[in-house]
Amino acid sequence: MRFSLPLLLTAMAGVLPFTASAAQSADIVLKNGLVLTMNGDKTVYSKGAVVIKDHEIIAVGDDSITNQYQAKKTMDVDGDIIMPGLINTHTHVSMTVFRSLADDVPDRLHRYIFPLESKLVSRDMVRIGANLGNVEMVKGGVTTYADMYYFEDEVARTVENIGMRAILGETVIKFPVADAKNADAGINYAMKFIKQYRNNPLITPAFAPHAPYSNTTETLQKVAKLSEQENVPVLIHLAETHHEAEVIAKRSNGLSPVQYMESIGALNNHVVAAHMILVNDKDIAIAKKEDIGIAHCMSANIKAAKGVSPALKMFDDGLRIGLGTDGPMSGNTLSIIDEFNQVAKLHKLVNHDRSAMPPIKVIEMATIGGARALHMEDKIGSLEVGKLADVIVIDTKAPNMVPIYNPYSALVYSANSANVKDSIINGRLIMQNRRVLTVDEDKIRQQAIDYTQVVRDTVIKSGEQVL
Amino acid sequence: MRFSLPLLLTAMAGVLPFTASAAQSADIVLKNGLVLTMNGDKTVYSKGAVVIKDHEIIAVGDDSITNQYQAKKTMDVDGDIIMPGLINTHTHVSMTVFRSLADDVPDRLHRYIFPLESKLVSRDMVRIGANLGNVEMVKGGVTTYADMYYFEDEVARTVENIGMRAILGETVIKFPVADAKNADAGINYAMKFIKQYRNNPLITPAFAPHAPYSNTTETLQKVAKLSEQENVPVLIHLAETHHEAEVIAKRSNGLSPVQYMESIGALNNHVVAAHMILVNDKDIAIAKKEDIGIAHCMSANIKAAKGVSPALKMFDDGLRIGLGTDGPMSGNTLSIIDEFNQVAKLHKLVNHDRSAMPPIKVIEMATIGGARALHMEDKIGSLEVGKLADVIVIDTKAPNMVPIYNPYSALVYSANSANVKDSIINGRLIMQNRRVLTVDEDKIRQQAIDYTQVVRDTVIKSGEQVL
């Protein structure tokens, strides 16, 4: 077909200016997806798109919005689920190197884990374990996690390497540990780490007083004060065990751990409390008033027969509550997807009500709820314009995921961590079609496997049974 | 180096006759694996092999045994776990096409599922759903399953196509269903199906009276008599709900469902009873005396807030008990691996004991326990010479599976269904490196997705809410 020159120019005028100047530039466009925004209205786009520029989400909506953008990379996800990255509000990532060791031993923490750690925790162990755990989390759709352990500056380097987001809490505990001879040394280590990572775009450094019973009142008060002064989070195990409750009741004339922490001024809106199993209505009211975050770790809690936290009540009461895996010697996996179906089902069981804890609440806890638990809901946890671009894509074609009448049900009752296909964190593509792009997965796995010989030698020497 | 002819012949004599005639022929050799035999001694070979000829296992042992065999196919599994195929003792495989539909609705069976089925169950639906569920099960390591549904001759064809092993129970129920207008018509359908599949190497046809409350005493007695006459299994839901217990107590002057079934002569060593949640010590003693098999369906039971079956006590008391997923509208997945960690953890929780239900018991229930539940322990459930060759290989290099100090722990607390790499059923390689070799997975998925439109149209017409 021939055009006269004026006609051709007219035709071009209708197209060229639109793509050349009216279209805004973007870095990544995800399109043709079932978009679960997890915004305040829980908006779902059945054929939707998410547009990312630099580190942020700049548009979310029906696929038609993509016409307005000229993107460096366009990902047609062919009907798969696009959702906010999952948030793991409590773990000890480096403990992957101990996974499957001496499970189910009574009084395991004091009889087994602390002695094992006193022999083995080192910069090497922390780095090797964190590298492996980071890969597991990315492959399981986790984009942000909160960690409590030792040598957190080593963990920080692994997090930067893979390109995840993390709150890293340096442990403060009253007995000698690998990187500090007492609680004050732990505080000093943490302060140094906080100064080093204060303005890092991916890492939020934090204090991690181990628990109320394993620290003095003075230490807990000192950490609380410093957390306000430095404006950093405080990660702590709280209301987790009967042993803890007994020690604290003795220390405080009968207060519960939550009441005790409030009474000494150690609860504030920097605190993220893991577990919160042994809490009554008064404790829950205090947690709400003090605006603390809560990490609900169902899988680990029931594995240790510790009980089921009243997480559903805390969620319904409007507390800041998200999901956590706990460490890989406790959970034993690091993928938040592995928590979903246990969280949904256990709350039904203990409430004798099959309609309790519906899937949408579980997904809320895993995303925006986790963000609220970490006091980061202004930055992450939902797909909304202006939020940081932490986005995952879930395969809807794996046989366990077919069909999908209700995407929340499919995620909670059917999905496993291997159904996560792609992960974008802080606007950067970290995993595509299950291949992690930023680190060498094979090398990381081999380093972890090699390290197991160190663990075996130590455990066998100590006379403990590995198998 | 030069040899004299006599010396060379002497040297060859030490080698050639061995490979040429002393070596026995085999079809498949799996070697270099961590072999969990699940035999009576729970023998583990840390670097072991399994040798298969025709449909049977002809050798199990250390890798050195492979020198004695000349195999058509040798699979070096590079340290991965080799174990018996998993046994799903209770499902309704065709219901995959309804998965994620109307979860968590109170009184769901009567208000939702039965009406839905009365509109939709057909040969097409049964075939399409079973094809999808079979693929999901193979990819999740299930090699044998027990099914209760309608048009089981359609299910049988799908099972033969993919090459799985199954007990298929044709439903007997007192109200009109898609393939029978009443219980007697169901019995007639079942009898025809039994005659058709009596000598099939993969399929065991069976009766499936739905439950005590949904059948008359006469029907249950008739089925019991026919099961002995035809020497076939009887699959039934038993002691599952309070509604059932009330109906049966009224019918029988206060007997429990198990006691009632015994009193009418409907329990025998052909019965496989699903659920067995509401059972007391007397019921358990009866179940043991009558030698019935039990399908423990933890995931489905707690999702419906029905409670936790005393499966640990039944296991410890020596009853025939295996694991089941229940149907995909209940569980919602069909992979027995998805049951592992819930089974291990819930029994710890309800027994207030973290050492209760250790991983090795869970793996026993999933393999030889499942075989015992189906009264097939002489044929399947462990890797032993003379048993049928149902063998799976589990990836030990996925990040969630690293490291492995204790393989039972790793399987129960870390593995997911995507960690299953290879599957051999009845001596035939059905899946290799996660690719199903015997059916067209893409076509099966697309047929299931296409069918969802029929379901959507029906549900939307009926005014029920899908999302």
Helix (H) or strand (E) holding A335, with range, is none
**Chain B residues within 8 A of A94 when measuring between CB atoms:** none
Best CA proximity match to A210, nearest among A105, A327, A298:
A327
Beta-carbon contacts of residue A289 (< 8 Å; ≥ 6 apart)? none
**Residue in the block written with tokens 């193979």:** B138
Please give the Cα distance from B95 to B300 (Å, whole number). 14
A405, B332: Cβ pair inside 8 Å?
no
Please give the Cα distance from A164 to A147 (Å, whole number). 12
**Residue in the block written with tokens 């169950």:** B121
B445, A416: Cβ pair inside 8 Å?
no
Tokens of B452: 């969802």
The confidence score (pLDDT) of residue A161 equals: 98
B303, A344: Cβ pair inside 8 Å?
yes
Going by pLDDT thresholds of 50, 70 and 90, the confidence category of residue A2 is: very low
**Chain B residues within 8 A of A413 when measuring between CB atoms:** 100, 103, 303, 331-333
Per-residue pLDDT at A5 exceeds 80? no
pLDDT digits (tens, 9 = 90+) for B28-47: 999 999 999 999 999 999 99
Mean model confidence pLDDT for chain B: 94
B354, A139: Cβ pair inside 8 Å?
no
For CA atoms A279, A280, A286, A289, the dihedral sign is: positive
pLDDT digits (tens, 9 = 90+) for B313-364: 999 999 999 999 999 999 999 999 999 999 999 999 999 999 999 999 999 9
CA-based nearest residue in chain B for residue A434 = B398
CA distances from A179 to A66, A126, A151 (A): 51, 11, 6
Running DSSP on this structure, what letter comes out for residue B312? H
- 3-class SS of residue B173: coil
Tokens of A193: 């780490």
Per-residue pLDDT at B1 exceeds 60? no
Going by pLDDT thresholds of 50, 70 and 90, the confidence category of residue A115 is: confident
Helix (H) or strand (E) holding A420, with range, is strand A420-425
Per-residue pLDDT at A127 exceeds 90? yes
**Chain A residues within 8 A of B399 when measuring between CB atoms:** 132, 135-136, 139, 441, 445
CA-based nearest residue in chain A for residue B399 = A136
B455, A400: Cβ pair inside 8 Å?
no
Higher pLDDT, A93 or B462: A93
CB pairs under 8 A between A and B: 210
The confidence score (pLDDT) of residue A463 equals: 57
Beta-carbon contacts of residue A440 (< 8 Å; ≥ 6 apart)? none
B304, A354: Cβ pair inside 8 Å?
yes
**Chain B residues within 8 A of A467 when measuring between CB atoms:** 405-406
B302, A346: Cβ pair inside 8 Å?
yes
Residue by residue, DSSP assigns B53-93 as: ETTEEEEEEEGGGGGGEEEEEEEE-TT-EEEEPEEEEEE-G
Beta-carbon contacts of residue B73 (< 8 Å; ≥ 6 apart)? B27, B28, B29, B429
Helices (H), A121-178: 123-139, 152-162
Please give the Cα distance from B145 to B376 (Å, whole number). 12
Residue B296 bridge partners (DSSP): B323
**Chain A residues within 8 A of B414 when measuring between CB atoms:** 99-100, 332-333
Mean model confidence pLDDT for chain A: 94
CA-based nearest residue in chain B for residue A46 = B467
Please tell me which of the candidates A335, A353, A359 has its beta carbon nearest to residue B400.
Answer: A335
CA-based nearest residue in chain B for residue A450 = B403
Going by pLDDT thresholds of 50, 70 and 90, the confidence category of residue B14 is: very low
Best CA proximity match to A30, nearest among A2, A55, A52:
A52
The confidence score (pLDDT) of residue A114 equals: 87
Please tell me which of the candidates A302, A441, A452 has its beta carbon nearest to residue B345.
Answer: A302
Per-residue pLDDT at B435 exceeds 70? yes
**Chain A residues within 8 A of B351 when measuring between CB atoms:** 305
Tokens of A335: 């993928």
How many residues in total does chain A contain?
A: 467
Torsion of CA A260, A265, A266, A270, to 10 degrees: 140
The confidence score (pLDDT) of residue A108 equals: 83
Best CA proximity match to A337, nearest among A423, A434, A416, A394:
A416
Please give the Cα distance from A29 to A302 (Å, whole number). 41
**Chain A residues within 8 A of B355 when measuring between CB atoms:** 104-106
Beta-carbon contacts of residue A439 (< 8 Å; ≥ 6 apart)? A131, A134, A135, A161, A162
Per-residue pLDDT at B84 exceeds 50? yes
**Chain A residues within 8 A of B340 when measuring between CB atoms:** none
Going by pLDDT thresholds of 50, 70 and 90, the confidence category of residue B3 is: very low
Tokens of B280: 């007391």
Best CA proximity match to B24, nearest among B71, B76, B60, B75:
B71
**Chain B residues within 8 A of A454 when measuring between CB atoms:** none
Shortest Cα distance, chain A CAs vs residue B441, angstroms: 9
Residue by residue, DSSP assigns B144-196 as: EEEEEES-HHHHHHHHHHHT-EEEEEEEE-SS-BTTBSSHHHHHHHHHHHHHH
CA-based nearest residue in chain B for residue A330 = B413
Q: Which of A13-22, A119-128, B15-24 tops mean pLDDT?
A: A119-128
- 3-class SS of residue A337: helix
Going by pLDDT thresholds of 50, 70 and 90, the confidence category of residue B10 is: very low
B416, A413: Cβ pair inside 8 Å?
no
A333, B413: Cβ pair inside 8 Å?
yes
CB B236 within 8 A of CB B273: yes
Written as one letter, the residue type at B191 is M
Please tell me which of the candidates A105, A399, A451 has its beta carbon nearest to residue B139.
Answer: A399
This complex has an ipTM of: 0.93
**Chain B residues within 8 A of A342 when measuring between CB atoms:** 341-342, 345
The confidence score (pLDDT) of residue B390 equals: 99
pLDDT digits (tens, 9 = 90+) for B91-131: 999 999 999 988 988 878 888 888 889 899 999 999 999 99
Best CA proximity match to A366, nearest among A36, A135, A44, A132:
A36
Residue by residue, DSSP assigns A58-111 as: EEEEEGGGGGGEEEEEEEE-TT-EEEEPEEEEEE-GGGGGGTTSSTT-TTHIII
The confidence score (pLDDT) of residue A109 equals: 84
Please give the Cα distance from B466 to A219 (Å, whole number). 54
pLDDT digits (tens, 9 = 90+) for A319-371: 999 999 999 999 999 999 999 999 999 999 999 999 999 999 999 999 999 99
The confidence score (pLDDT) of residue A433 equals: 98
Per-residue pLDDT at B199 exceeds 60? yes
B305, A403: Cβ pair inside 8 Å?
no
Please give the Cα distance from A96 to A80 (Å, whole number). 30
pLDDT above 70 as % of chain B:
94
Count of CB atoms situated within 10 Å of the CB of A386 = 9
Tokens of B244: 């059932």
Per-residue pLDDT at B467 exceeds 50? no
**Chain B residues within 8 A of A108 when measuring between CB atoms:** 354
Tokens of B150: 């309608």
Residue B165 bridge partners (DSSP): B144
**Residue in the block written with tokens 């050639």:** B16
**Cα A196 to chain centroid, rounded:** 22
Best CA proximity match to A177, nearest among A247, A234, A98, A119:
A119
For CA atoms A408, A410, A416, A420, the dihedral sign is: negative
Q: Which of A103, A139, A361 is best to mutate for the B interface (most B CBs within 10 A)?
A: A103
**Chain B residues within 8 A of A347 when measuring between CB atoms:** none
Best CA proximity match to B247, nearest among B259, B237, B257:
B257
B400, A334: Cβ pair inside 8 Å?
yes
A108, B354: Cβ pair inside 8 Å?
yes
Q: Tell how strand B56-62 and strand B44-53 pair up.
A: antiparallel
Q: Tell how strand B420-425 and strand B44-53 pair up.
A: unpaired
The confidence score (pLDDT) of residue A20 equals: 47
B100, A413: Cβ pair inside 8 Å?
yes
CB A331 within 8 A of CB A300: yes
Mean pLDDT for A209-223 is 98
Report the Cα–Cα distance between both ends of chain B, in Å, rounded.
79
Please tell me which of the candidates B332, B358, B441 has its beta carbon nearest to residue A414.
Answer: B332
CA distances from A211 to A115, A441, B3 (A): 18, 34, 76
The confidence score (pLDDT) of residue B107 equals: 79
Residue by residue, DSSP assigns B227-279 as: HHHHT--EEEEES--HHHHHHHHHHTTS--HHHHHHHTT--STTEEEEE--S-
Please give the Cα distance from B315 to B145 (Å, whole number). 20
Best CA proximity match to B139, nearest among B445, B449, B412, B453:
B445
Please give the Cα distance from A183 to B212 (Å, whole number). 64
The confidence score (pLDDT) of residue A106 equals: 82
Higher pLDDT, B19 or A49: A49
Domains and CATH numbers, chain A: 85-381 (3.20.20.140)
pLDDT digits (tens, 9 = 90+) for B350-387: 999 999 999 999 999 999 999 999 999 999 999 999 99
Per-residue pLDDT at B287 exceeds 70? yes
Going by pLDDT thresholds of 50, 70 and 90, the confidence category of residue B464 is: low
B406, A466: Cβ pair inside 8 Å?
yes
